[in-house]
Chains A and B, each alone.
Chain A
Amino acid sequence: MSEAAELEFLLGQRGTSHELGAWVIGLAFGREGRSLHAGLGDGTVRVAQVSAPQDWLSVEAHKGAVLSLCADGQDGAITGGDDGRVMRIAPDGTATELAKFGSKWVEHVVAHESGIRAASVAKAVHVLDAKGGLLKSLAHPSTVGGIAFDAKGKRVAASHYNGASLWFVNAKEDKPRLLDWKGSHAAIAIHPEGGHVVTAMQEMSLHGWRLQDGQHMRMSGYPSKTHSLSFTNKGKWLATSGAEAVVLWPFFGGGPMGKAPTELAGGDGVMCTQVACHPQHEMVAAGFEDGLVLLADINTGRVLPVAPPGQGGVSALAWNPAGSHLAFGTESGFVGILDLSAR
């Protein structure tokens, strides 16, 4: 990007940055918006207050590495680690063990604002209540590649080899709806209105199911694997990583079947690694393999540069629930926090 030097990056004007020293695996603002949590490859979780984004405290959360991190139900964050533990990290950095599953890796964690949480360990998804009690353990035919709650927290979907399983969290008898599709499925997302499930596949394509009639949706053409999926607020668009642009699939007007995706912010020949849709507006934040971070307005295609390349491939992105702050993290441990609120 020869013109990069001439561009004004938002990070310089409205942001603060910090070196955390290890691969940023996940970022999450607390749902109440007070704190920002970063899970790292060295097993620590770093916590900063949004009001003082330059001060980070370090919490020894896991013995090996943090494998996944997400916002907890009310505030703070939860993490899964390779020491088999699920931890809760409060906004002030207090760490509490919620569950321990032997020596197996806790590869994925998700939480819903109702307080319910789910953690995947090998072939099982363990559902925990707000107090950390184990509600149920759901078994799958192979190792779980990703998990997601629906917007209401009533169903949890887990991807695996040859498809995905959709479970009702409160069912008396646990019997999943099996969504079949040959191949290995990893990242997973449920449409905000609950009607579609989409997975990212080992075969460098996406697969989706329309739940109402079981209609399959094939979304292909990616030059690499998609690791990051994000629906816009109302579910009009699905933003995805894995191409040399932000690829957005239309979930309206009969799409995505038979529709071409919209591509934004392409042209540099650099792979998009992370996407995160704004919690209210039709705007997507995207991170690239060279460290570039940008914001793109989906309807106008207008792009705002956030951070220049050079600080390591972008490995995590998060919005606060109000949509006023954006955080990004990279493979080399660099984090940036931007205050985008009106001044």
Chain B
Amino acid sequence: MSDQIPVTVLTGYLGAGKTTLLNRILTENHGKKFAVVINEFGELGVDNDLVVDADEEVFEMNNGCICCTVRGDLIRILSSLMKRREKFDGIIVETTGLADPAPVAQTFFVDEDVKRATRLDAIVTVVDAKHLLARLDDTKEAEEQIAFADLILLNKMDLVSEAEAVEVERRIRAINPMVELIRSTKSDVPITSVIGRDAFNLERILAREPEFLSGEDHHEHDSEVNSVAFEVSRPIDPEKFNTWMSDLLAAKGQDLLRTKGILAYPDEDRRFAFQAVHMIADGDYIGPWKADDARKSKIVFIGRDLNRPQLRRGFEACQVAQGTAA
């Protein structure tokens, strides 16, 4: 639905350059108008016609799912902004440095009104190249903001050496192998690299493929959030996959921050895309497999305490029985 207004979520630790990026987006001459939802602890003033103060009220959904949280304030604000949607082209939501991105992302999966009127364009995380490693060691929010990012602005590049930058990028990729990384200084990047990315679209899932089957485990002893990725070549039995995934999300959803997959179903010419934020899952058929594509199913988990052999066995067991492959 082209009618839906794109929403860009900006996260990042205090002092990383989030507000600088926001002001760049707003002042660059691109002819687009944005409504901006800022948190009350913003670092700098934001100069824009339509600025809304948000309280970051995180509400648990009373639906038996303990990790299903939404941002109550966002639901109210976005629903209200929709009633004057002709006044802007997009919405930017800035979160506080200490915010967990999960409730923001889940709001776009769970709330019907928000889903109908808006679409999550991308979660953009601004990180400070100089201080990220220290932040990752002492806070869980910094890890979560990286785990949830579709795009990371590796900012303050002027303050680090090339070797330091490479190490920071390696740590980021260990947490989130799919994220797009952009190096910057003073958040100076073209607006088109940040806005209008459509990164949350199911069709864009795995647009950047992690290194599958590299043989190298992405386990990091010094980093709590990790990722694992698997690829199988026989088609996936949808029933087996759904049973496995719903059991897995119910049992481990709190530790699974993000799950993304592209699945080949038997006798189906279209790819099935799947994504989940904690226990909240979404999936649909996307475009057809290309004629020369190897129809391999792929899945990536980002989370805590991931049991790699168990997840691998589980995914492999979702394949149709040997010999019945199309």
Q: What residues make up the interface of A, taking CB atoms closer than 8 Å to B?
A: 22-23, 25, 41-42, 64-65, 67, 82, 103-105, 107, 122, 142-143, 145, 161, 182-184, 201-204, 224-225, 315, 331
Q: Which residues of B contact A82 (CB under 8 A)?
A: 52, 80
Q: List 4 A-B pairs, minimum CB-CB distance, nearest first.
A: A183-B62, A41-B83, A41-B84, A23-B83
Complex Cα–Cα for A315 and B113 (A): 13
Partner of B72, one of A65, A202, A203, A204: A202
Question: Judging by beta carbons under 8 Å apart, are B76 and A202 in contact?
Answer: no
Question: Judging by beta carbons under 8 Å apart, are B80 and A65 in contact?
Answer: yes
Question: Judging by beta carbons under 8 Å apart, are B113 and A225 in contact?
Answer: yes
Partner of B112, one of A42, A224, A331: A224
Interface size on B, residues (CB 8 A): 23
Question: Judging by beta carbons under 8 Å apart, are B55 and A67 in contact?
Answer: no
Say how far B154's CB is from chain A's closest CB, in angstroms: 34
Question: Judging by beta carbons under 8 Å apart, are B62 and A143 in contact?
Answer: no
Question: Judging by beta carbons under 8 Å apart, are B55 and A202 in contact?
Answer: no
Question: Judging by beta carbons under 8 Å apart, are A103 and B53 in contact?
Answer: yes
Complex Cα–Cα for A142 and B76 (A): 13
Q: Which residues of B contact A105 (CB under 8 A)?
A: 52, 80
Can you give 28 contacting A-B residue pairs, CB < 8 Å?
A22-B86, A23-B82, A23-B83, A25-B83, A64-B84, A65-B83, A67-B80, A82-B52, A82-B80, A104-B53, A105-B80, A107-B80, A142-B57, A143-B55, A143-B57, A143-B72, A143-B73, A145-B76, A161-B72, A184-B70, A202-B59, A202-B72, A203-B61, A204-B112, A224-B112, A225-B112, A315-B83, A331-B83
Complex Cα–Cα for A105 and B73 (A): 12
Interface residues in B84-137 (C-beta closer than 8 Å to A): 84, 86, 111-113
Partner of A161, one of B50, B59, B84, B113: B59
B75: Cβ under 8 A from any A Cβ: yes
Say how far A310's CB is from chain B's closest CB, in angstroms: 16
Complex Cα–Cα for A142 and B83 (A): 24
Question: Judging by beta carbons under 8 Å apart, are B61 and A183 in contact?
Answer: yes
Partner of A201, one of B55, B60, B62, B84: B62
Question: Judging by beta carbons under 8 Å apart, are B59 and A107 in contact?
Answer: no
B63: Cβ under 8 A from any A Cβ: yes
Complex Cα–Cα for A142 and B63 (A): 20
Question: Which partner residue on chain A sits nearest B82 by CB separation?
Answer: A23
> If A82-B80, A143-B76 touch, does A184 touch B59 (CB 8 Å cutoff)?
yes
Q: Per-residue 0/1 for B46-83: is the Cβ within 8 Å of any A Cβ (1 yes, 0 no)?
A: 00001011010101111100000010110110001011
Q: Which residues of A contact B80 (CB under 8 A)?
A: 65, 67, 82, 105, 107
Question: Which partner residue on chain A sits nearest B81 by CB separation?
Answer: A65
Complex Cα–Cα for A25 and B53 (A): 21
Question: Judging by beta carbons under 8 Å apart, are A184 and B53 in contact?
Answer: no
Say how far B42's CB is from chain A's closest CB, in angstroms: 13
Complex Cα–Cα for A122 and B53 (A): 10
Q: Per-residue 0/1 for B197-213: is the Cβ within 8 Å of any A Cβ (1 yes, 0 no)?
A: 00000000000000000
> If A143-B72, A161-B72, A225-B113 touch, does A23 touch B84 (CB 8 Å cutoff)?
yes
Q: Which residues of A contact B59 (CB under 8 A)?
A: 161, 183-184, 202
